[in-house]
Amino acid sequence: MQFDFFLWPMLVPLIIPLFYTLIYKKKSILDVALIVLIMVLIVIFYWPLTMVLSTSSNIITKFLLFIALPLIVLYISWRLLNNKKDFTFDRFGITNNGIEKSLKLGFLFIPLMLFVTFIAKYLIGGVNEPHFFLGVVSFVESFTEEFFFRGILFLYLSSKINLKIAYITSLLSFILMHPQNLTNPFIISTIVQGVLTLEICRRSKNLAGAWVLHGTNRFFSIVILPLFF
């Protein structure tokens, strides 16, 4: 099996929080190091899992790497450190707190997101045939990226280090996680989506609205946009 570590660019922004903790917040070095470890494992195992499970099971691959793997690593470290606090999901944005605000922001930003995606797709030219089932699966799958890039790489990381550093790290890693978009106009949509989902999470501390925005944009791209071209 030939390995393809095409997700490696998303590791580059991790230099930012690493340097920050080494200079300003040494007590958070372990937390950042664990996130680095998780992301390295994602880069290493993404391609093999995709090959084993097939691209049609991409949602399983992403669930295992973007949700299960981080939770297992962080939970084990939490247990080893004998932390007296409960290991709760609210630190990752999965909570009832702020859910109404999160959803309101998500629906508020959807028109802007879809407009940007429409323009980006128009500039690229040509889209695939509409596929409703794939659109639904893609909507659900978008939660895996939101959990990792906004839940862990922003909300969780910002609780350990500077919020601005976590914001920049999350945004850049999310953009570089899509290397296939770096050389075409769709990178505009990726950047806007990264900023809008981060803003939703920053203001609400909840992932719900970010998931709705991300998922709706995917569904729009796969099911609705082909009808216009």
Higher pLDDT, 80 or 84: 80
Alpha helix positions (H), the chain:
15-23, 29-53, 58-63, 69-80, 99-124, 132-145, 157-158, 163-176, 186-204, 208-219
Gap between the Cα atoms of 213 and 197, Å rounded: 7
Gap between the Cα atoms of 94 and 59, Å rounded: 19
Secondary structure of 33-48 as H, E, C letters: HHHHHHHHHHHHHHHH
Q: Would the pLDDT of 145 be above 80?
A: yes
64-80 average pLDDT score: 94
Alpha helix positions (H), 15-97:
15-23, 29-53, 58-63, 69-80
The pLDDT score that the predictor gives to residue 74 is: 94
Q: Would the pLDDT of 23 be above 70?
A: yes
Burial grade of 83 (CB within 10 A; 0-12, 13-18, 19 or more): exposed
Closest among 173, 181, 211 to 219, alpha carbons compared = 211
Higher pLDDT, 32 or 4: 32
Closest among 41, 9, 26 to 172, alpha carbons compared = 9
Q: Would the pLDDT of 55 be above 70?
A: no
- pLDDT-derived band at 43, boundaries 50, 70, 90: very high
The pLDDT score that the predictor gives to residue 83 is: 74
Q: Would the pLDDT of 2 be above 70?
A: no
- pLDDT-derived band at 82, boundaries 50, 70, 90: confident
196-225 average pLDDT score: 96
149-175 average pLDDT score: 97
Token pair of 116 as six digits: 């940007």
**Are 74 and 34 contacting, i.e. CB atoms less than 8 angstroms apart?**
yes
**Are 106 and 204 contacting, i.e. CB atoms less than 8 angstroms apart?**
no
> How far apart, in Å, are the Cα atoms of 160 and each of 104, 174, 185, 194, 216?
27, 19, 35, 21, 31
Gap between the Cα atoms of 78 and 85, Å rounded: 9
Q: Where are the domains of the chain?
A: 8-228
In the DSSP assignment, the letter for residue 148 is I
Q: Would the pLDDT of 92 be above 50?
A: yes
The pLDDT score that the predictor gives to residue 1 is: 46
How much of the chain exceeds pLDDT 90, in percent?
A: 75
- What mean pLDDT, rounded, does the chain reach? 92
Q: Would the pLDDT of 176 be above 70?
A: yes
pTM of the model: 0.94
